[in-house]
A and B are shown apart, each in its own frame.
Chain A
C-alpha cells in the first residue's frame, strides 16, 4: 500500500467526522439520536477501513510475497541481522542449506511444514509456548527457536546428533530425558516424521519478517 499509517489514521478520522456532521444535522448533541447516528457512522467507517486494510495485509503476508517466506525457505540459510535503516532486526535468507540432508521440492516442503503446523496445533504447544509472542508463558518463545545458539552449544552433544536439525528433532521427541530447566517439557508422543515436520516449521517461521520482534535476539552464527 502506498499510504503510511498517519495518512490512513487521519483519513479514518476525517471521513468519520464529515459523515458524522452530515448525518447528525438538525439534532442537538444532548439527544440520544445524535449519538446513535454518530455511533452508526463511525462504526461503519471503521469496519470499511478494517476490510480495506485486511485485503492489503493478506496480500502482503501471502507465502512468498516478501514478509512471509515460501515453504522452500527451509532449503536456505537463515540469519537474523540488524537493519541500520529500519533500526531493528530482520531475517536474512542466503545460500543453500539442506534440511535433514536434502533439498526439498516445493510440494515436499509445503507438505512438510503443513504437517508441522498440524502437529503444533494438535499437541497444543501454544498453551505452554508463545509463537510470534502469542500463547502461554510457561515455556520459551519459539519465534526464532531455529536460530537459538543452544542447539549447537549444548543440545547437539547432549542427544548425540550430527547436525542442528537432527539435534532439534531428537530433543523434541524426548525433552523430558534431556532437561535444561527444572520445568521440563513433557514427552508428547511425537513421531520421527512429526519431529522433522516441526523442525521444518520452526525454520520456516524464523524467516518471517516480524518488524524486529524479538529485539536483540542473539542468533546462532554457525
Chain B
C-alpha cells in the first residue's frame, strides 16, 4: 500500500478513471461540433465532415465508459478480496498500450479519416460500423487488453481464496462482455448478417452485460456510501441479473424487425424488450430502499446523489424512452429517427455516465480523506450535477420533439424517401430542435467543466467539511 493507504490496484484504477474523464471531455467537444454542423453544414465541410466527428463522439464514449468501468473494478477489487491485485505490472502495461492505441486510432480518424474500398482500409483506417469503427488491428489490441484485465480479476479472486457473490456475477459477466466483442470482428458482404451480429455487440452490451456490470459496481458503491449489508446487496444483484438477462437476451429481437431477419422476431423482440424496464424498476426500488433505510446518512454526498441520478436516469432513459419505441407497430415508423438519438443520450448518460461519476467521487474521497473522518461534500458539485442534468434532459427533450416530427413527416406520411427526409428536416419542429439541442449541449459542457474542477478541488479544504459522527466512523 502507498502512503494514502491505497493499494496499487486502486492507483491503477484511478489512472483509468482519469484517462476516461479526459476522453469524456473530447466526446463532448465532438458532440458540440457535430451538433453545430446540423445548424451550419458548411462548417469544416470537406475538412472534418459530420461522419468523422460523429465517429469520434461515439467512440470516445464507448472507450471512456469502458475505461471508467475497468477503473472502478481495479478500485474495488482489493476491497472485495482483501488483497493486492495479482499481475498489477501487467495491468499497468496494458493501460499504456491502451492509451497509445487509442491515441493512434484518434490521429488516424482525424488526419486520414477514410480510405479506398478495400480490406486494408478496414484493417488500418476505419471499419465503418457504428460504435465499433475502430480498425481491425485496434480490435485485436482491445481484446488483448481486456484479456489481461480479466486475468487480473480472476487470478486475484483465486489468490484471495474467497469468492463473494458480487465477484462471481462480475467474472461471469466480464467473460460474456469480452466474448461478445468478438461477434463484431468480422467482415461479410451480407448486410443482414453484418447487422445481426453487430447488434450482439451493441445491444447485448448495453442492455445485458453492461447493465449487469453496473449492477455490480453499484452494489459495491452502495456498500461503501451507505454501508448497506452484503446480504441485501447480493440478493438484489441476483434479482437484477435474472431480470436483465431474462428480458434483455431475447429483447435483442427489437433490432431484428427490419434488417431482413424472419418475421418471428417482430413478436419475440416486441414481447421481451417490452419487459426490459422491469430490472430498472427493481434498481430504483433498491437504491431508494437502501437510502431510506439509512435516512440518507452517507459518507459521500456527491457519490450518493450521482447514484440516485443513475437509478432514475437508467429507468427513464433506457426503460421509458426505450419502451416508447420498442413495439414493432411503433418502431416501423420511429426506426432510425432522432427518437433513437433522444433515447440513446438519456440512456447512456443515466445508466453509465452517472455510474462512472459516482465512482470517481468515491475514489477522490479516499485520496483527500484517507481516514474517512469527514462527510465528503462541496458547493460546486451541486452546480455540476444540476447543469449536467438540465443539459442532458434539454437535449433529450429537443431530440424527442424532432423525433416525433420526423416519425410523422418523413416516415409515416412521406414514406422515407430522399425528398421526404429533406422535408422533415426543414420542418420547424426539427430545424428549431437542432438549436435547442446545441444550446443545452453547451449547458451540459459547462456542467462537465465544473465537474472536473470539483473533482480536482473537493475535500481539499477540510474546514468546509462536516466531521463524520463517531458511530459512522467505526463502520468504515
Instruction: Provide the bound-state CA to CA distance between A127 and B41, in Å.
Output: 15
Given A6-B267, A182-B41, A191-B116, do A32 and B338 touch, yes or no (CB 8 Å)? no
Question: B238 to chain A: which residues have CB within 8 Å?
Answer: 32, 35-36, 38-39
With an 8 Å Cβ cutoff, the count of chain A residues facing the other chain is 93
Q: Are B336 and A3 in contact (CB-based, < 8 A)?
A: no
A112-137 interface code vs B (CB 8 A; 1 in, 0 out)? 01111111111111111011111111
Question: Is B103 at the interface (CB under 8 A from chain A)?
Answer: no
In which size bucket is the chain B interface? 35 or more
A222 to B: closest C-beta gap in Å: 15
Total A-B contacts with CB atoms under 8 angstroms apart: 267
Of B257, B264, B415, the contact of A216 (CB 8 Å cutoff): B415
B193 touches A16 (CB 8 A): no
| Chain B residue at minimal CB-CB distance from A128 | B51
Q: Chain A, 20-48, contact with B by CB distance < 8 Å: what is the 0/1 string? A: 00000000001110011011001100110
Partner of B246, one of A16, A68, A133: A16
Contacts of A32 in B (CB 8 A): 165, 231, 234-235, 238
Chain A CB count within 10 A is highest, among B45, B118, B268, for B268
Interface string of B260-283 (1 = CB under 8 A from A): 111111111001100000000000
Among the stretches A97-105, A141-149, A159-167, the one at the interface with B is A141-149
- Using CB atoms, name the residue of chain B closest to A20: B242
| B269 to A, closest residue via Cβ | A5
Task: Give A124 Cβ to nearest chain B Cβ, in Å.
Answer: 4
0 or 1 for each of B414-444: is its CB under 8 Å from A? (1 = yes) = 1111110110010000000000000000000
**Interface residues of B, Cβ cutoff 8 Å to A:** 34, 37-38, 41, 45-46, 49-52, 54-55, 114-119, 121-122, 125-130, 133, 165, 187, 189-193, 195-196, 198, 231, 234-235, 238-239, 241-242, 245-246, 249-250, 252, 255-268, 271-272, 332-333, 335-338, 340-341, 411-419, 421-422, 425
A148-B417, A150-B418, A176-B46 given; name 18 further pairs at CB < 8 Å: A5-B265, A8-B268, A35-B235, A35-B239, A39-B246, A43-B246, A53-B268, A60-B262, A61-B193, A61-B196, A63-B189, A67-B262, A122-B117, A128-B50, A150-B417, A181-B425, A210-B260, A211-B266
Q: Could you give 29 example pairs across A and B, Cβ below 8 Å?
A: A3-B264, A5-B266, A9-B250, A32-B235, A35-B242, A43-B242, A47-B249, A57-B261, A61-B262, A117-B191, A118-B187, A122-B126, A124-B51, A124-B55, A127-B52, A127-B130, A128-B49, A132-B192, A134-B195, A145-B418, A180-B418, A180-B422, A182-B41, A184-B41, A191-B116, A210-B258, A210-B260, A216-B413, A216-B414
Listed from nearest, the 3 A-B pairs whose CB atoms lie closest are: A5-B267, A119-B117, A121-B128
